[in-house]
Amino acid sequence: MEVLIKANGRHYRELNAEVRSALARGASKVTLDGVNGQYYIGAGLQGARRLIINGTPGNDIGCYLDGPELVIHGNAQDVLGNTMNSGRIIVHGSAGDVLGYGMRGGEIFVRDNVGYRVGIHMKEYRDQCPVIVIGNSAGAFLGEYMAGGRIIVLGLRGEGRIVGSHCGSGMHGGCIYVRGRVEEKQLSPDVLSVPLDESDIKLLDSYFKRFCEYFGVDRSALLDLAFQKFVPRGNRPYAGLYTGL
């Protein structure tokens, strides 16, 4: 069963209640038309569901998501995928700051740009490895305090800086892949650049393919620049600042 809901001018609580009601009645796909700034859409949803969002939703879309696929036809604002556990979010536009905060599973694909502090406190849990794929560029503090997972920045437009300053600040797990050149001064002293191995190439290739399928991008456009891989220098970046007894 598929359900269409008109979101124009409706309060986010009312809108979210209707989405949950439709899913409780057995809907496998819910489409929201005319979304404009409503918060918390898709918060805490579970199971094999699909939610289509047409418009520009507000903050905390897909927070605590645990299984469904959310597709946003428009831009997303801040804290997208907050503490996401599993599932997938696909953004046909750009996204704001603090995307994937505390994310511990699932995937986020953003066609264009993202803001500051994306991937902050990302972590891996058992066999769960969260992944964020960014089509163009990211702002400062990418992967801040990152404890696990993968961030892939494709830099498709090739204009200006691909990532902002302080990339990997406090990073102590996971890795960041950036297509193109990142200057040393943009990196936090907590990270270092290492060569890609065969498993990295396989992972990147699989995400290239899916990114191109989701957004209609020519895959050949991703093959003309090399990637840099950034990993933490150690797993306790602030150990020297603690007070001993």
How far apart are alpha carbons 96 and 117 in whole angstroms? 9
* Model confidence at 240: pLDDT above 70: no
CATH class assigned to 94-237: mainly beta
Of 128-132, 141-145, 215-219, the one with minimum mean pLDDT is 215-219
Share of the chain above pLDDT 90, in %: 82
How far apart are alpha carbons 171 and 38 in whole angstroms? 32
How far apart are alpha carbons 88 and 72 in whole angstroms? 11
pLDDT band at 202 (very low <50, low <70, confident <90, very high): very high
**86-99 pLDDT tens trace:** 999 999 999 999 99
pLDDT band at 1 (very low <50, low <70, confident <90, very high): confident
pLDDT band at 223 (very low <50, low <70, confident <90, very high): confident
What is the predicted pLDDT for the residue at 86? 96
What is the predicted pLDDT for the residue at 161? 85
Mean pLDDT of 147-166: 90
Q: Which two tokens stand for residue 216?
A: 């209609």
What is the predicted pLDDT for the residue at 232? 94
**75-122 pLDDT tens trace:** 999 999 999 999 999 999 999 999 999 999 999 999 999 999 999 999
> How high is the mean pLDDT of the chain?
92
